[in-house]
Amino acid sequence: MNTQQHTFNNQAGLVSAQQDIQLITNILQNQQGTIQSQHNLTITAPNLTNQQKGKLLALEQLSITSQQLDNQTGLIQANQVTIATQQR
């Protein structure tokens, strides 16, 4: 899923797939939302907000590339997690 450099708002929403999910967006807002894959989840978002019990879940690999990640009271969980971020 590529939002063409716009905002992907999953506030209190659900994105779920039994296959891999690849999400490319400029801003990802996942407050109280869930994004989950039964396999691999790859997220590329320069600005990622996963607050207020937001969940990023994968059964296998979860990879996040972000310049700014806010995971206050959020959950990031997978068998293997890789996070590349640069807080400013």
15-60: pLDDT as tens digits: 999 999 999 999 999 999 999 999 999 999 999 999 999 999 999 9
The answer to whether residue 33 is domain-embedded is: yes
The answer to whether residue 1 is domain-embedded is: no
Q: How many domains is the chain built from? A: 1
The answer to whether residue 68 is domain-embedded is: yes
**pLDDT reading at 75 higher than 70:** yes
The residues, any chain, with a CB within 8 Å of residue 46's CB and separated by 6 or more, are: 26, 27, 66, 67, 68
Q: Domain span at residue 44?
A: 7-85
CA distance linking residue 21 with residue 46, whole number of Å: 17
Confidence at 3, pLDDT banded by 50, 70, 90: confident
- The reported pLDDT for the residue numbered 86 is 82
- The reported pLDDT for the residue numbered 1 is 82
The residues, any chain, with a CB within 8 Å of residue 10's CB and separated by 6 or more, are: 28, 29, 30, 33, 34, 35
The answer to whether residue 66 is domain-embedded is: yes
CA distance linking residue 67 with residue 14, whole number of Å: 24
The answer to whether residue 2 is domain-embedded is: no
